[in-house]
Amino acid sequence: MITYSEPCPSYHHSYNRTPFAKLILAALYLLLTIPASLIADQGADHGKDPVGRLKATLYIGTDGDVSQLGANLSKLDAAMTTKLSNMAKMKFKNYRKLGSDTQPVLRSYENWLTPLNPSKQILLSYESKGEVCKDCLKLDLQLWQQNRKIMKTDQALTVGKPLYIRGPKWRGGQLIIEVELVALIESKTKQ
Amino acid sequence: MKEVTTPQTTQPDEATLTLWMDGELEGDRLKACEKWAESHPELLHQRDQLAALNTRISEEIHRDIEPPYPEFFNQQILREINRNPAHEAIATEGNTQQNEPENPLWQRLVTPAVVMPAVAAAMALCFILGTQYGSRNVAALSVAETQLVAGIPEISSLDSVYTPDGDVTAEMYHSLDQDSSVIIVLDGLEDIPDDVEMIRLNVENTPAPAQERTQPTLPQRDGRQEYVYSEPTYKSSALDPLSL
């Protein structure tokens, strides 16, 4: 029978701590097997995760001379022209495209669309209010004209079904703002 | 000289009835109205229901707490009151029909006086429900309270467009195509000056960094002209906008 004398107390103690050592080793093993992303995910701001993409396109409709609007403005295709002309109070003889902007929809942060970037004549601010159905998203959408908020809506936008806003007049034409939820992004962590 | 008021045995006017429903009548006017209402127990019942609802609302929401976007909240209440078909019908009938009513008198008088405060109270109740969704307080609503709001259109069916500027009005439509897109028509907006040059840009911008809720920063402008079109300084794989 082997006994451990007092001059080697550490050896003696380690023999008694074997179950504890096993516990420590098991904990270290589990720690090393945890995915690095989970560790790095702690403390991350999920509010900045994108949950979709939103696009704003600015059109102008006019019954007058399109040359007054400016040079080199894009014409619309026939389908879009027909679509706009069939809308209430948006029927005009001519349409042109002024600009567009696409930005991500963040989980809990406000973001901005500037279709006339860098002009601040027409701005849209929006913030997600959470997904209400499979392909739609409720947004707190605000339309700004320069530094004035002119409209606020909490319409739920469906992917592929734009919202149209008839805006102010300019050079004898009427601005038409198209806001479209381009896509929804599935995120790993739900709100 | 003390003012003598004649006890009101005839029906009170709409304003008096509204104040009575809201519990804001005092003194002789209250007594007269109470005496008249004795012959209309249904009004007493509805008044009690409203009082209970108001008490519940005041318990749930402190007076110091304002709902978010209070102007929007008030605007929706007023809009719903003005849209109430019973109220419009009463307004167009005129005084002549009070002598020969088709419906019982108490129905014609009750409707505008009851519906208006009921609409306001119901919207406030819906606000409470919205703020306490999932809370046990929602389940604690009495049957009477739920029945009171049963006749009021749901919040979800009300217009969800708000225009802060009183000169701007908004109307909502649906397009007639298969997409049935929502169309918002804004009237009363200030025109953009003709001498302002619109910058055209129809390529995707790089994602903007997330930002806290802030007001947009205005560019420094010199006179009325804002910008002159210039070639973009970044590279993009999108089509040249001029070619479309």
ipTM for this prediction: 0.76
The gap between the terminal CA atoms of chain A, to the nearest Å, is 64
Chain-chain contact of B197 with A70 (C-beta, under 8 angstroms): yes
Which tokens belong to A92? 């005009």
pLDDT tens sequence across A76-131: 999 999 999 888 788 999 999 999 999 999 998 999 999 988 788 899 999 998 87
Strands (E), A27-155: 50-62, 74-75, 94-106, 111-113, 122-133, 136-145, 148-153
Nearest to B213 among A75, A110, A175 (CB): A110
d(CA A113, CA B18): 47
Which tokens belong to B75? 């605007």
Q: How many CB atoms lie within 10 A of CB B118?
A: 21
The mean per-residue pLDDT over the stretch B79-105 comes to 54
Does A104 touch chain B if contact means CB atoms closer than 8 Å? yes
Chain A CA closest to residue B226: A119
Chain A contacts of B168, Cβ < 8 Å?
A: 150-151
Cα A186 to chain centroid distance, Å, stands at 11
Does A148 touch chain B if contact means CB atoms closer than 8 Å? yes
- For residue B199, what are the contacts with CB-CB under 8 A and spacing of at least 6? A99, A116, A117, A118, A119, B227, B229
Which tokens belong to B67? 């709902």
Query: Considering chain A, what is the average pLDDT of its residues?
Result: 82
Does A154 touch chain B if contact means CB atoms closer than 8 Å? yes
The mean per-residue pLDDT over the stretch B140-163 comes to 45
Lowest mean pLDDT among A58-72, A154-168, B88-102, B213-227: B213-227
Strands (E), chain B: 161-162, 169-174, 182-187
d(CA A182, CA A100): 13
Sign of the alpha-carbon torsion through B204, B205, B210, B214: negative
- Structure confidence at residue B70 (pLDDT): 66
What is the Cα gyration radius of chain A?
30
Chain-chain contact of B198 with A99 (C-beta, under 8 angstroms): yes
In the block, tokens 């059109």 appear at: A59
pLDDT tens sequence across A32-65: 766 555 555 556 778 888 899 999 999 999 998 8
- pTM value is 0.50
Give A189 to chain B, closest Cα distance, Å: 18
pLDDT tens sequence across B20-55: 888 888 888 888 888 888 888 888 888 888 888 888
Chain A CA closest to residue B165: A150
Nearest to B175 among A87, A167, A175 (CB): A87
Q: How many CB atoms lie within 10 A of CB B100?
A: 6
Q: What is the DSSP letter of B127?
A: H
Chain-chain contact of A98 with B198 (C-beta, under 8 angstroms): yes
The mean per-residue pLDDT over the stretch B178-192 comes to 87
3-state secondary structure of B50: helix
Chain B contacts of A87, Cβ < 8 Å?
A: 173, 175, 181, 183
Chain-chain contact of A150 with B186 (C-beta, under 8 angstroms): yes
Nearest to A162 among B162, B181, B244 (CB): B181
Contact status, residue A124 vs residue A141, Cβ threshold 8 Å: yes
Q: Is the pLDDT of residue B6 over 60?
A: no
3-state secondary structure of B230: coil
Conformation bin of residue B146: beta by default, left when phi > 0, alpha when psi is -120 to 50: alpha
Give B174 to chain A, closest Cα distance, Å: 8
Q: Is the pLDDT of residue B68 over 70?
A: no
- At residue B5 the predicted structure's pLDDT band, cuts being 50, 70 and 90, is very low
Chain A interface test: which of B71, B75, B186 (most A C-beta within 10 Å):
B186
* Residue B109 vs residue B22, higher pLDDT: B22
